[in-house]
Each structure stands twice: as C-alpha cells, then as structure tokens.
Amino acid sequence: MKTDEFLRQVTALPGVTGNERAAAEFIAEAFRPFVDEVKITALNSVIAHKKGNGPKVLICAHLDEIGMMVSKIEKDGTLRMQSVGGVDPRVLPGMRVRVFARDGMLMGVVGATPPHLMREADRKNNYTFETLFVDLGLPAEEVEKKVCIGDTVCFESRYVELKNGRVSTKTVDDRGCVAIMLRAAELLQKMHHEADLYFVSTCQEEIGSYGAMTCAFDVDPDFGVAFDVCHAETPGAPRLYTSKIDSLVASKGPFLHPYLVKKLETAAKEHGVQLQTAIDPRWTSTDADELSLVRNGVPSVLMSLPIKYMHTNVETFDMHALMEGGRLLAHYLSEMDASWEEELWT
C-alpha cells in the first residue's frame, strides 16, 4: 500500500485513547508484509517485530487520538460531551462529528447557543464543553435507544490534498509518524540490518504514554527511537517553539541520549536528509519520556514531524518531510550494531 493511501485510510479510522482497536487492527495488517511477526497487545498497542541478531531497538509512534465521550443526554436528545486527551472546545462549534453508539456510527454536528440569543456578557466568553452539544437530528426517545453515556465521539475525517505537497486531515498526531515507521520497515526489506527491530504503534499516549511504558517493559530494548509531532511555523506562534514544516526535527535534552542523537545527525548528513534541531530542556511530553524511565532506562532519541493546527481535524503536514523521515529512519536502523552499545558510554 502506498504511503498516501495508508494515511488516507488510517487517519479516517476511530481510535480515541482507550478505544484504539479498529486503528490497531488496520496498522497490524499494514505491517505484516514487512516484518516477521505482529501482535496486538491487550491495551491495543501494535508490536511489529523484524528480527535481527544485533541490539534490540524499540521504535514507537502512538496510534491513539484525542476525542470526546458522551457525558449526558439532554431531554431534547442533544448530547453533552467531555474531552478525552486534550480537545480544545474552542475548535468544536460547527464541526461535524461521529458518535460510535451501540448499533453503529451516527453523524452529528456540534452546536452552541447562537450569539444573537446570548446576553452581551456571555458573548465575551470562550466556548466550553458546558456550552456545547452534539445534535444528531433524532428525537429524544430514539437517542435514548441508540446512545449510551461513555460512547466515543470522534472528529469527522476529511483527507485534503493542498498545494505544494501539503496534506490536511485529522490524526496526523500521531498516525503520520506511524506512516514513517511503516515506510522505514518497507525500505528495510532491501537493506541489511543487524539490529533486532520492534516497530511499536503505542496506545494511550494522549493521556500519559502508557502504551510506550507497557510495551517497553515487555520488549526490554537496548535503544529507543520515539516519534511524535511538533508545532510547525504558524502566523502568530512564537518562533522559539515552532519549526519549519518541510523537514523532521531531532530533539536534544536530558531525556535524550547525546550519543544516539549524534549518530542520528551523522546519518542524516551522510544520506542527504534535512534535519532540524530543537531543545527539550526538561521532559519531552512524548513516549520518549517513558522509554527513558522503564526498567533500568532505555537510551533514546526523539524525532518529530512538524504539523500545523495540532489537535484539530485539519492537522497539516508536508508529505516530503514524512517520506524523508522514513528514509532517514531506515538508514539509521540499518547502521545500528553491537558496537553502539560499547560506544554508548565513551
């Protein structure tokens, strides 16, 4: 499957944190042609193992997404909701959503009291979850039959190809980085590698990187390579915390091993892949943090795909940056061998 078609399909699937099974099953099937074995864990992480005789390496990107869940059914049949994983309610008014109810998926729209009907003081306030609701267009008695408290509410998916190789869709955070891992696994079919590789699509990152924690404990790797998204340059955003959208970013900081970062930068230079640098002077707020702490600690690096409009249904990225990320990862993994373990402390 071509990378763009994989992205089109995988980003459309529901996978709100804690309910990632549909996305996990699709990703597992996508990896099967390129690895020796694939398993889905009890918590819905996907572990794709490509065997080798060298150091054990865990490469991870999370498959879960932010979303909502039904918190109340009003007397008129509209639904109240709460965030799962970090949805900003200000982006929701006017959005189409999908409610995954007991008998299947229901389309809905997010509405709010029109400003014409608000008091002047209320018009000055931002939207909150308490002021928003989902309208399914159904009478209250039908909603009561179909919907339960706790049902998942997902953003509607629209995969939009913009100009200049840019793509906009939901769930680029972080299935765009799952696509980078898949591309690398495909390229490694024609490359030699000594490392014992575990491509892990982790669950529950959006609420605390629990998939990375549990999978790293299970695999017990020698090295870790974490992928996530970061903020691309956007009008009005502080330049200190953003990166150019056209290439991947390698982070430096206390959670990231300097030797592995240096080897990554060398690989990028030798293979002509553009790589930006960012700093994370404390934690990274990604799976890399958990990799660094599990068991005796896993020396790790972090690479990020810059996107615009994070945690919305129009997350926007550069396809060339994504494809080059897959190429860089393949070369980086192919160069890992037993000597890296000896040099790690020199």
Per the structure block, which two tokens stand in for 195? 């490392």
Contact 33, 220 (CB under 8 A): no
What does the alpha-carbon distance between residue 5 and residue 148 come to, in Å, rounded to a whole number? Answer: 33
**In terms of Cα–Cα distance, which of 6, 25, 320, 31 is closest to 185?**
31
Sign of CA dihedral 206, 209, 214, 215: positive
Could you confirm whether 205 is annotated as catalytic? yes
Extended beta strands in 160-284, E state: 160-161, 166-169, 196-202, 223-231, 248-252, 275-279
Q: Tell me phi and psi for residue 133, to 5 degrees.
A: -155, 160
CB-based burial of residue 259 (10 Å sphere; 0-12 exposed, 13-18 middle, 19+ buried)?
middle
Q: How does strand 104-112 pair with strand 132-135?
A: antiparallel
Contact 5, 20 (CB under 8 A): no
Q: Is 14 helix (H, G, I), strand (E, B) or coil?
A: coil
Catalytic residue chosen out of the listed positions 205, 206, 290, 315: 205
168 token code pair: 């906009």
Largest Cα span, the chain: 69
- Catalytically annotated residues: 205
